[in-house]
Amino acid sequence: MTLTIVLVAGALLGVFGLGAAALRRSLIGMLVGIQLSVGGWIMLAAGLWNLSGTEPSTGHVVVMGAVTFAVAAAVLVIALHLAAARASRRADDLEPW
């Protein structure tokens, strides 16, 4: 029962996140969608490995890789967003911040 709930919740979160990312209204909005979907896939991985009775070490490695990807993507997208904001303010002869 717990495994089913975790798998369904993870799949729903992942699909919702991908849908939000597909709207592509802004870089930050897309980033939030991707982070939600990666969180959903992490729940899937946790459920498939930790709750199904198989060896969990592979699932742990997958989860660590997913977290690393999510953090790196967040840092990069926020840095790009800040660069765009600074360039926009510079174009209007304003201070960068």
Nearest residue (CB) to another protein, 9 versus 18: 18
Q: Is 28 in the site for another protein (CB under 8 A)?
A: no
From residue 14, alpha-carbon distances to 17, 38, 44, 63, 86 in Å are: 5, 7, 9, 14, 32
Per CB under 8 A, does 13 bind another protein?
A: no
Q: Do the beta carbons of residue 73 and residue 36 sit within 8 Å?
A: no
Please tell me the number of Cα atoms within 13 Å of 58 on its side-chain side.
9
Length, in residues, of the chain: 97
Contact call for residue 65 and another protein (CB under 8 A): yes
Half-sphere exposure of 11 (CA within 13 A, CB side): 7
Compare residues 1 and 80 and give the one whose CB is closer to another protein: 80
Give yes or no for residue 20 binding another protein (CB under 8 A): no
Catalog residues that contact another protein under the rule CB under 8 A.
14, 17-18, 21-22, 24, 27, 30-31, 34, 37-38, 41, 44-45, 48-49, 52, 54, 58-59, 61-62, 65-66, 68-69, 72-73, 76-77, 80, 83-84, 87, 91
